[in-house]
Amino acid sequence: MKDNRNILVTGGAGFIGSHTVVELINKGFNPVIVDDFRNSEAKVLKGIKAIVGQDPIMRFVDVTNKEQLKAVFEEFSFSGIIHFAAYKAVGESVAKPLVYYRNNIDGLLNCLELAEEFKVLNFVFSSSCTVYGEPKGTKIVTELSEMQEANSPYGATKQMCERIISDVHKSGSKMRMLNLRYFNPVGAHPTGNIGELPIGRPNNLIPYITQTAAGLLNELTVYGNDYNTNDGTCVRDYIHVVDLAEAHIKGYEWLNNLSEPRTETINVGTGNGTSVLEIIHTFEKVSNQSLNWKFGPRRDGDVEEIFADTSKAQELIGWNADRTIEDAIADAWNWEKKRRDE
C-alpha cells in the first residue's frame, strides 16, 4: 500500500527544491530529498530544520546514476515525484552542451523509467520559460504560444524533456504529469534560513545585486541599455520562490486528485514584467542603500522581454502569486545579510 504522503524530491537541496520541501512538510507530506550537493550545500538541511522543526529525509544520490536512484525507490514507496535536479546556467550550457544534455536528459529518463517500474503515478517537472525562446509579437506568453528555437542548450534540454513527457503520455502511460514553466524565481524564505546559494560568481541578477551590496563583488554590470523596452533594459517576470513552492503543492494536489492519465503545462509567473533598472531601484529603496552599477554590452543569448500569462495556473490548479517584487528583494537581501553573519 502506497503512503500517499511520500514524495521524492530530486534536487531538493537546491534553491527551489528546498523551499518546496519546506512547504511540503508544512502541508503534512513526507518529502524525501535526493541530491548530491553538486550545486547546493549540506547546510541547507539545517536551514530547513530551523523552519519546520524536523530534520528533512535526505539520500545522497546522483539522479543520473540509475542504480543509486533505484535504491531510493526500493526504500520508500512514493506516490509522486517532483523532479528539480538539473543544470540551469544558460552561459555554461553554451560552453558545455554535452554535460547539459547528459545530465538533464538522463536525470529525467531515470525518474520516468523508475516511476513506471514502481508504479508512481504523479510527476511534476521543473520546466522553464526558456522553452519559449524569444517571443515573436506579444511579450506576454500563454502555454499555447509558439515555442521558438531555444536560445541555449539549457533551453533545448527543457524543450526536449517536455517532449519526452508528452511522448510518454501519448504512449498510453497511466501517469499524471505536470510541467511547471518557471519564469524568474527570486527571493528567499522570509525567515532568512534558506535562500539562493550560488556556487562561485553568480550568473543571475538578484544574487549578483545582493553580493555587490554586501561588498563581495565590486559592481553590477547591466547587460545592455538599447533594448526595445521602456527604459532600454531587459524585462522579466520575477516570481518569489515561496509563491513558486506553493505552486508545486497546488499542482501536486491537483494531479493526485485526477482519476485519469493526463499531461498539462502551466506558466508559473506573476504576470508582471520588471526591467533590470526597476529591479536596481527597488533594491535601493528596500535596502536603503545605493548600489554600484554600470551599463555594459548585451549578454549573448538574452531574451529582450518576456512575462507570463498566468490565467491557466489560476483556472486549473487555483494558484496565483501573492508576493510582490519588493517582498522578494527584501527577503533576498535579508538572506544575504543573515548568511554573511553566520
Supply the residues annotated as catalytic. 154
Q: Is 339 within 8 Å of 214 (Cβ atoms)?
A: no
220 contributes a contact to ligand UD1 by CB under 6 A: yes
130 contributes a contact to ligand UD1 by CB under 6 A: yes
How far is the C-alpha of 302 from the C-alpha of 239, rounded, in Å?
18
303 contributes a contact to ligand UD1 by CB under 6 A: yes
Name residue 13's amino acid.
A
Q: Which of residues 71-100 bind ligand UD1 (CB under 6 A)?
A: 88-90
Q: What does each C-alpha distance from 201 to 53, 212, 333 come to in angstroms?
A: 32, 11, 17
Rounded to a whole number of angstroms, the CA Rg of the chain reads 19
Segments in 153-195 forming alpha helices (H): 153-170
Given 236, 240, 323, 339, the residue binding ligand UD1 (CB under 6 A)? 236
Given 84, 123, 208, 335, the residue binding ligand UD1 (CB under 6 A)? 208
- Closer residue to ligand UD1 in complex, CB, 106/302: 302
270 contributes a contact to ligand UD1 by CB under 6 A: no
179 contributes a contact to ligand UD1 by CB under 6 A: no
Angle, vertex CA 16, rays to CA 9 and CA 66, nearest 5 = 35
Nearest Cα neighbor of 245 from 11, 22, 3 is: 22
Closest-by-Cβ residue to ligand UD1 is: 234
203 contributes a contact to ligand UD1 by CB under 6 A: yes
Given 141, 222, 249, 277, the residue binding ligand UD1 (CB under 6 A)? 222
295 contributes a contact to ligand UD1 by CB under 6 A: no
299 contributes a contact to ligand UD1 by CB under 6 A: yes
128 contributes a contact to ligand UD1 by CB under 6 A: yes
- Closer residue to ligand UD1 in complex, CB, 56/195: 195
For 217, how many CA atoms within 13 A lie in the half-sphere containing its CB? 20
For 39, how many CA atoms within 13 A lie in the half-sphere containing its CB? 20
